[in-house]
A and B are shown apart, each in its own frame.
Chain A
Amino acid sequence: MRRLLAFLRRDLQVATAYRLNALLLATGGLFTLTLFYFLARAVGQPAALQGRYGGDYYSFTLVGLATATLLRSLQRGFGEAVRAAQNDGSLEPLLAAPLPTVQVVTLMAAGPVAASLVRAGILLFAGTLLFGARLSLNPLGFAVTLILSVVSFGALGLLSAAFVLVFKRGDPFAYALDMASYLFAGVLYPPDVLPPTLHALARLLPATHALHGLRAAALKGAGIPELLSTWGVLLAFSAVLWPLAAFALAAARRHVERTGTLPHS
């Protein structure tokens, strides 16, 4: 816990040194909320949403965008944190600390993930307060789905970090997965509108289940009975992805220590 706080404090101290960035992020968030507010007014009450999430497109999109903000940060934040440390030379001293590699990389991503969690929360809060989104939140259902989503996407993030550690470049798979999530997982429209083949493909993406679970808990007040199957799927993703991520990261560290490319950027 002390180490987690140390990383969070360090990242916060660095973030507060760039005040203009916070202003730009806030402006961007407000711009997004306004854009989708008017888009929702143009779309009206889409038939595809009737009976599923309450039929209000703005609320549907708001939860989708907030969730996508968080999932994107989890999916790409680990790799980006490793890449930034490669570039500024801090990776070697961090990996020289007496901690397992998985722990160091996870701690490195803790700040960016926490920041995106705050951003997602502010999006939901501002969307509700300023633009009248209608949430019917089940706090327990939402919290458990959120934790399970973070856990399974954290593994994807570690896989991406392993790639970056070896290839010293942004991970194209994380980027592709991010794009696939936006296209197929239902950030801006429900996956039901997709043709059957693509709909089946969407079910293989963890983002589809995270989005469904978080929307159900936030918009319909879904509780344990309605969310159990979603939780099961997210747990299954974690059970497969975490050992894979731990193996990939260990193999990546072995590779850079064998080739002597750890200090390279």
Chain B
Amino acid sequence: MPQVEVVALEKTYPPPPFAWLRGRRARPRPALRGLSFHVDAGEVVALIGPNGAGKSTLLRILCGLLLPEGGHARVAGLDVVEGRPEVRRHVGAALSDDRGLSPRLTPRQNLRFFAALYDVPSHEVDPRIEELARMLEAQPLMDREVRTLSSGEKARVVLMRAMLHQPRVLLLDEVTRSLDPGAARRVRTRVLGEAAARGTAVLFASHDLEEVRAVAARVVLLDQGRIAAQGRYADVHPAAQALFALAEAPA
């Protein structure tokens, strides 16, 4: 059964107000143009595409942090617009450039705080935090202030926050970007291992084609808000390589 279902999804950002006063073009900016795909329970699907392809926009819509203009999206069977705020209970998200941890608190204090927001039963909070800390090799970090952590260490805590309430859908936006390659591989294996064991649907955005090849059952390739290709990695790979080569070519 699909845990994420996206049908003809459209998103256009309006121009900033009074853009012409600042010498900018006042045109709406289409970000998603009629996307349709799904992610089943326990399935891992990768979103790839060059910068500005619409990956982060799509993930934010699925988290209930952006409104689509057309089509619809359902998460855990709930419409992401009509089913709010309940739909957010089923989503765990680690978005790019996430700075949402209180720097003066420890990871443990931050996670206890978010556990209360997501109604994790009190007696389950500390054992769950310990379990996640073990899984993500974060035990030595748990009682240090967040402001003293490196970006890779913070990324682990953000990932723990996303998984804390055992969501049915996990949305990850380049979450292992700041980890060293070895740690990234181990974290990925463990996170996806737990997701598979619990039947969690995982949709992750990445620029790392090696990572995508290693873990994704299916791949959705985005280009300028459209799906350029989708299917198994081997099927999508030629189109992805061509697209990335085009994006890297000098103008």
Contacts and interface: CB of A to CB of B under 8 A. Distances in A.
Interface of A: 2-3, 5-7, 9-10, 13-14, 17-18, 88-100, 254, 257-260, 262-263
Contacts of A92: 65, 95, 98, 100
B66 A262 contact: yes
B250 interface: no
A99 B14 contact: no
A6 B67 contact: no
A97 B14 contact: no
B22 interface: no
B181 to A, nearest CB: 27
Given A96-B63, A254-B67, A257-B66, A5 B117 contact: no
Interface string B153-170: 000000001000000000
B145 to A, nearest CB: 8
Interface range, B side: 35 or more
Q: In this complex, which of A92, A254, A260 has the most chain B Cβ atoms within 10 angstroms of its Cβ?
A: A260
A94 B116 contact: no
Q: In this complex, which of A5, A9, A96, A254 has the most chain B Cβ atoms within 10 angstroms of its Cβ?
A: A96
B213 interface: no
Contacts of A257: 65-67
Given A7-B113, A96-B88, A258-B66, 5 more contacts: A2-B119, A10-B105, A90-B102, A93-B161, A96-B91
A10 B102 contact: yes
A90 B117 contact: no
A255 to B, nearest CB: 10
A222 to B, nearest CB: 40
Nearest to B64: A96
Contact of A89 (B57, B87, B98, B117): B98
17 contacts: A2-B116, A3-B116, A9-B113, A13-B105, A13-B109, A14-B102, A14-B105, A89-B97, A90-B100, A92-B95, A94-B117, A96-B63, A97-B85, A97-B117, A98-B87, A260-B60, A262-B65
Given A10-B105, A14-B105, A93 B114 contact: yes
